[in-house]
Structure 1
Amino acid sequence: MPAPFAASLGGYRADSGNPNTSDNGDDGSKELGRALLEEMGVPEGQEGPANPGSYLEQAIVDHLQPLRPDLTIRRSRSAIEFEQYAHLRVFPEFRKGHVGTARQLGHLRKLADSLPPSATALRLQAALATTAAEFALQDEMSERLKSYMPEESLLKLDITCGSEREGMEPLLHLGLSSKWTLRTDRAQDCFSQGSKLASQRRGPMPHYAVITMEPRPAMLKILADGSGAVDYVYHVDLPALTRAVEKIRSGKKGVWNPGITFERLLNQGRIRDYDDLVWAVQSIPVGAKSRVPEGAVNAVAHKAESGPADLALF
C-alpha cells in the first residue's frame, strides 16, 4: 500500500505545469511523472508544496511515530548520537576541548616564583620546571595528533528510529535518507552515508535505506541495483508507479528499456513499497537494550581534557 500522505504531496509546478517529481529538462521524466500523479489520483492543476522533500520527511515521522510510541523517530539527527557510533564523538570533542598545559603551569610557576625564598619554594620551583618540560612534550604530541588525525564525518540522517533508555546511549535501529527525487549527486550521498554507517559502527548495523518519490527507473537503478551500501529503496507509492510504468510501456513500440529496468528491480526485491517500511519499523524488538552507559564516551573525553586542570590543584 502507498503512504497515506502520498497524494497530498504530489502536484504540478505553478510556473511550468510539470509534475513536481519531474526534471523539467527530461521529457521521459515528465512523461513518467505525469503518469504517476494520474495513477495516484492527483487532480490536474493541483499545486504541490514548495519544498516537497521537507514535507515528505515530516509526513513520514508523523505517520511512523504513533505506530511505535516506544521508539524515538526524528528528523535530521547525527549517527554519532547513537551507541554504535558514539566513539566517533571522542576525538572531535578532544580536539575542541583540548587546552595545552603551558597556560595552567605558567600561572603556577608565577605563584611559586612570588613565594618568599626558602628551601620549599626552591623545590617547588624545580618540580614545576621539570613538570613543565614533561608536559611540553605531551602538548607537542597532542598538537601533532590534532593535525594529522583525519576528520571523518557522518552526514546527518534525514530520519532516525532509535531506542531511548534512561542512563544509556540510544541504540539506532533504522536510518533513512529521504529524497523526493534523485540525481546522481544525491545518490552518491546515499552511498557514502551507507558505507560509513557500515564501516565505522561498533555494534549492530542499523537498517539503512532510501525513501523517494522518484519515478524514473534509470535513477532508481543507481541506488537499487545491488549496492551493499543501501539495503533497499522504498517508494512512497510503488503501486501507482508500477501502474504508471505499465501504462506507458503498453503504449510504446518495441522494447522500452525503462520498463525492463523497473521490472528487474521489482523482481530482485530491491525497490519496495511503503508498507514494507512500516513493517520494518513495527518489527523492531520492544525494549531493545543499549549496552553503553549514557555519557560513557563523553566521560573518556572529559578525562582527557581535565588532566591539566587537575594539575592546577597541585
Structure 2
Amino acid sequence: MPAPFVIDLCGYRDGRPSTSDKNDSLSIELGQAFFDMLGVPQDKPAAQSVDKKWSAAMVEDLGRQLSDVAPHLVVRAERRLEEFEQYAHLKALKSLAEDTAPEVSDALSRLEMELVPRQGAAPGIDLAELAADLRAAMAAADDRRRALIDLLADESPLRLDVAVDRPDTAARNTNSGVLPHLVAGFSLKWSLRTDRLQDPRTQGAKMASMRRGRMPHFATVTMEPRPYMLGRLGRGTGDLDCVYHLALPTLIDAVEAVYVGPARSKQRDMFMRMVEQRRLRDYDDLVAYVGTL
C-alpha cells in the first residue's frame, strides 16, 4: 500500500508529474504511468513546498502508527544531530566560539565596581592595576582561541528531515544534560537530482564516523520513479541502510509496464534486483522496522 499521505503530495506541474525530470522523456513517461496507477488526477496541481508538507505528514503518520506498537518512541521533524546523546559532543566547537569564561568576567566586573573604589590609598596590591592586567590576559586568550576556531572547516550542522528517538532511555551528558537517544533518522528526497544525489550518502557516512555509541538506522525516503537514479543512490557502500519508497508496489507495476524491450530491460532487471536484495523497500517496511527499535 502507498503511504497514506502520498496522493495528497502528488500532482502535475506544467502538465508533467511532479516526480519527473522535464528534460527526460522516459522519466515523464514513467511518471505518467506511475501516477495513473496511483490514481492521481491529471488536473491536480503539484503541492507547494512539498518537503515541509511531506515531513509534517510523515511525522504525524509515523507517530500514529507507532503509538500502539512502540509508544516509547517520539517522532520529530527537522532535528539537529547534536540534540541526541550519541552526537552531543558536536556542540563543543560551537561552545568554544562563545564566551568560555563568563564567571571570570563577572568576577572582574565586581572587582572593578566594588573593591577598587574602596581600596583608596591602602598599601598592598593595586586592585585597579590587577583588574586591568587580568582583562588584558583574558582578551589575549580569547583572540588566540578565536584565531584557532577560524582555521577550522566551517561545516553546516547536520540535520535530519525526520528523526525517531527514545527519550525514556536518555543518557546524561555532563555538558548537555539529559538528551534522547536517536534510534532512526531519515533524509527525505521527493525526487533525485544528479547534483544532490550524494547528499544522503555523505550524511550517512558522517553520522557513522561522528557517533559516540550505537549507529542509528539511517535511510533515504523518496518518491523518485527512475530505476537508474534509485540504483545510483541505493547501490552504495553502506552509507545508507536502504532506500524507502513511498509507493513501491505501484512503482514496480509501472516499471514493468514501461521498461519493456531490450533497450530498457537492463534497467528493469537492476531495479528488481534492488527490491529482491531489500536495498529498496516500501514505506510499510519503514513503519514495521522502526516499530522494533
Counterpart in the other structure of 1:164: 167
Instruction: Write the distance in 2 (CA, Å) between the matches of 1:75 and 1:136.
Output: 40
Counting aligned pairs with the same residue, the percent is 39
Tell me how far 1:116 sits from its aligned partner.
1.5
Counterpart in the other structure of 1:118: 122
Instruction: Write the distance in 1 (CA, Å) between the matches of 2:263 and 2:144.
Output: 68
Counterpart in the other structure of 2:144: 141
Mapped contact 1:154–1:196 kept (Cα < 8 A): no
Counterpart in the other structure of 1:179: 189
Counterpart in the other structure of 1:44: 42
Q: Which has the higher contact order (CA 8 A, sep 6+)?
A: 1
Q: Which amino acid aligns with 2:51?
A: G
Instruction: Write the distance in 2 (CA, Å) between the matches of 1:216 and 1:180.
Output: 12
Counterpart in the other structure of 1:299: none
Higher mean C-alpha deviation, range 45-54 or range 238-247: 45-54
Superimposed CA distance per residue, residues 39-62 of structure 1 (whole angstroms, 9 cap, x where no aligned partner): 212233333323333332222111
Q: Does 1:234 align with 2:244?
A: yes
Q: Which amino acid aligns with 2:198?
A: Q
Superimposed CA distance per residue, residues 139-179 of structure 1 (whole angstroms, 9 cap, x where no aligned partner): 34323333333334333211111122487211111111111
Instruction: Write the distance in 1 (CA, Å) between the matches of 2:77 and 2:244.
Output: 17
Q: Does 1:258 align with 2:262?
A: no
Taking the TM superposition and a 5 Å limit, the aligned residue runs for 1:48-63 are 48-63=46-61
Dislocated runs of 4+, deviation >6 Å: 99-104
Tell me how far 1:189 sits from its aligned partner.
1.8
Q: Which amino acid aligns with 2:40?
A: V
Superimposed CA distance per residue, residues 220-263 of structure 1 (whole angstroms, 9 cap, x where no aligned partner): 1121012321111100000011010111123x355533213212
Instruction: Write the distance in 2 (CA, Å) between the matches of 1:36 and 1:60.
Output: 21
Counterpart in the other structure of 1:267: 276
Q: Which amino acid aligns with 1:262?
A: F
Number of corresponding residues:
280
TM-score by length of 2: 0.84
Instruction: Determine which structure has the larger strand proportion and give its number.
Output: 2
Judged with a 3 Å threshold, the aligned counterparts in structure 2 of structure 1 residues 98 and 206 are, in CA distance, closer, same or farther, namely same
Unaligned runs of 5+ in 2: 171-176
Tell me how far 1:23 sits from its aligned partner.
1.1
Instruction: Write the distance in 2 (CA, Å) between the matches of 1:132 and 1:27.
Output: 68
Mapped contact 1:226–1:270 kept (Cα < 8 A): no
Q: Does 1:206 align with 2:209?
A: no
Counterpart in the other structure of 2:259: 249
Instruction: Write the distance in 2 (CA, Å) between the matches of 1:53 and 1:109.
Output: 54
Instruction: Write the distance in 1 (CA, Å) between the matches of 2:139 and 2:262.
Output: 78
Counterpart in the other structure of 2:173: none
Tell me how far 1:203 sits from its aligned partner.
1.2
Mapped contact 1:213–1:235 kept (Cα < 8 A): yes
Counterpart in the other structure of 1:10: 10
Q: Which amino acid aligns with 1:169?
A: L
Counterpart in the other structure of 2:153: 150
Judged with a 3 Å threshold, the aligned counterparts in structure 2 of structure 1 residues 23 and 107 are, in CA distance, closer, same or farther, namely same
